[in-house]
Chain A
């Protein structure tokens, strides 16, 4: 009860004007980046990373949580109105929502997406609040061999989740782990791969990697992509046809979808979010597939099913809460966005782990509060107040937009350390990530490999030191064995052939 009281007391900080202001600002930024195809919430947080130096940690985390929640929801806007998902997690929403748009029921589809996002996001935040103490207790039980196996589990799941490009995912993850070894050894004060330079002895700056990988490479990808003039035209037409009064879902439609669908989707989304590297798109797809499987109106799926929209959006917003669990407790990002948020923690000198619940409840409270209020209040408010304007976001001219992003990215990488070397490194990683993306390598696994690599090495070496070189310690240690078995289970589950999902148009 002390934990709950402390966290709820800490969340009162959310009502301070500056913190509230950053939450709203983060929501607006997240909505913009989530709605515009090609931009993502990950990119938004990556661009803001250098500024967290000058922000209070509470303000920085509240803003990041708000961006996360908004970005996950906003992808449904363009997914529904012009059949272009603003975020990968809204692909199934595009399948169903655009069909409804074509039938003249686009406003209703947007309303259902918002309602489901509200419910999912709020449930995810509550589950995060109540599950943290249990997870913290479990975390304390895990010893060194178990920690190694947990990280191995995370890395394997991250790679296997890249269905269709697992080998490339493995290459990217290993490459990230190799980059992370540059600098000082994790256990001895020995420089590695420094080539006699002072810069490399310090290691690769996480901020340079994040900004380069997500922001700078995106600029290059967008430069290589020709603008489709039809998109802006479609957006203008869509904006004119939507009426605010139609956003509110009818009670009859909500009952047809069923509260069980909402709750089950939220639980699925939260559970998938806890899995390292799984992300919103997996949460949305798994929930959508499950809803279709049990629905009494499964024939409507693929032709404009509100139940499909509800399942998909509820899950991807609930995922936001779940993704924070492994990140806060173990330093293992649950998805790409929390990988970048982990950077915010590190930059502010905060270490993930069970001690956050005892020593840093003033951070946990506002963070969870931001997720909850963003979902429950800001999502419906934003849709009702700004709904038709959001659709026009895609009409924004690309040249000044991407020029501005390039400037913020490169200058941002400079300001945090006033180092031209970091700025150059950011560009180098941007080029590397661009080339990898062209060749189909997932750069998210590169970042996650970079983040998890040092811990992977440290726990491996420590475990083998404890066992005097006997690798059987990973099997004889109960916590380690559990995670190794979980690894096998998830590999089997994620690699088995997937039943086709109706995507008829």
Chain B
């Protein structure tokens, strides 16, 4: 945006370099942890009967070792890359992506509990706000939300004859299992 200063201009360059280095290594570190857990869990796989020289645990262990070697290659290459001048980090964009993740997680959690209409309307409203960087006018947001909820309903329910969760019931609010959805045969009766 014109006139807006990038957030990274307020952060010392050496810290930005450290942060970029960490981000370059965070994924390899996380994958390495996954690989170690995976390898250890592979050791718990029990075979029912001997069927060849490699059992159910053999290939997973090979994969884990291969992953470790490949990650080593990634780390070596990343550390040897010249430290180019750090580009400004778009913290706004990163935050927007995080908000999408949080909103999506909330949507999944609410989908069956609150029902399609309520959960989807809230989710759509939040996403519209995120993608428009909160610049969307309230009326436009409401209209677009209503339109999207209706359109997606038409698409799934009317066009493809799919059942979506209905609104919340008292049972779900009081911690009981949500009522089972009627099968098409039951609905037809």
Contacts and interface: CB of A to CB of B under 8 A. Distances in A.
Interface of A: 51, 54, 167-168, 170-171, 174-175, 177-178, 181, 185, 187-190, 192-193, 195, 216, 219-226, 398-400, 402-404, 406-408, 410-411, 414-415, 418, 420, 423-424, 427, 430-431, 434-436, 438-439, 441, 457, 460-462, 464-465, 468-469
Given A171-B70, A181-B63, A423-B108, A219 B52 contact: no
Most buried by B among A190, A195, A427, A469: A190
B111 to A, nearest CB: 7
Contact of B46 (A54, A175, A178, A190): A190
B54 A461 contact: yes
Contact of A185 (B56, B77, B128, B156): B56
B136 A225 contact: no
A383 to B, nearest CB: 28
A225 B95 CA distance: 11
21 contacts: A174-B67, A187-B52, A192-B56, A219-B100, A221-B97, A223-B93, A224-B94, A224-B96, A398-B131, A400-B147, A406-B123, A407-B120, A408-B152, A410-B104, A420-B112, A423-B111, A430-B104, A439-B26, A441-B27, A461-B52, A465-B51
A178 B131 contact: no
Interface in B89-144: 90, 92-94, 96-97, 99-101, 104-105, 107-108, 111-112, 116, 120, 123-124, 127-128, 130-132, 136, 144
Interface of B: 23-24, 26-28, 31, 34-35, 38, 41-42, 45-49, 51-60, 63-64, 66-67, 70-71, 73-74, 77, 90, 92-94, 96-97, 99-101, 104-105, 107-108, 111-112, 116, 120, 123-124, 127-128, 130-132, 136, 144, 147-148, 151-152, 155-156, 160-164, 181
Contacts of B51: 187-188, 461, 465
B156 A411 contact: yes
B108 A226 contact: no
A178 B38 contact: yes
Given A54-B161, A220-B100, A469 B53 contact: yes
Nearest to B52: A465
A415 B111 CA distance: 12
A435 B104 contact: no
Most buried by A among B31, B48, B116, B130: B31
B74 A167 contact: yes
Which 3 residue pairs are nearest across A and B when measured between Cβ atoms?
A465-B52, A469-B53, A399-B131
Nearest to B149: A407
B45 A222 contact: no
Given A188-B51, A220-B97, A434-B97, A460 B108 contact: no
Contacts, number: 176
B97 A400 contact: no
Nearest to A226: B93
B100 to A, nearest CB: 4
A50 B184 CA distance: 18
Nearest to A453: B63
Contact of B53 (A193, A399, A439, A468): A468
A408 B155 contact: yes
Contacts of B56: 185, 187-188, 190, 192
Nearest to A435: B27
A193 B111 contact: no
A469 B53 CA distance: 6
A224 B71 contact: no
A223 B156 CA distance: 25
B93 A464 contact: no
Nearest to B46: A190
Nearest to A461: B54
Contacts of A435: 27
A6 B97 CA distance: 51
Contact of A175 (B41, B55, B67): B67
Given A171-B70, A415-B156, 10 more contacts: A167-B70, A170-B66, A187-B51, A226-B92, A406-B100, A410-B107, A415-B160, A427-B108, A465-B52, A468-B53
Given A174-B63, A431-B101, A457-B59, A223 B130 contact: yes
A223 B38 CA distance: 32
A439 B81 CA distance: 14
Nearest to A401: B131
A171 B67 contact: yes
B49 to A, nearest CB: 7
A191 B99 CA distance: 36
A408 B152 CA distance: 7
Most buried by A among B34, B63, B130: B63
Contacts of B144: 399-400, 403
B100 A399 contact: no
Given A190-B46, A400-B144, A223 B53 contact: no
A404 B148 contact: yes
Nearest to A189: B48
B60 A224 contact: no
Contact of A403 (B24, B27, B128): B128
B131 A222 contact: yes
A167 B156 contact: no
Given A226-B90, A427-B105, A188 B47 contact: yes
A418 B163 contact: yes
Contacts of B90: 224, 226
B45 A192 contact: yes
Given A178-B38, A398-B131, A171 B31 contact: yes
A174 B163 CA distance: 37
Contacts of A441: 27
A465 B101 contact: no
Given A167-B74, A223-B130, A226-B90, A174 B124 contact: no
A432 B91 CA distance: 20
Contacts of A223: 93, 96-97, 99-100, 130-131
A430 B100 CA distance: 11
B77 to A, nearest CB: 6
Contacts of B128: 399-400, 403
A188 B123 CA distance: 43
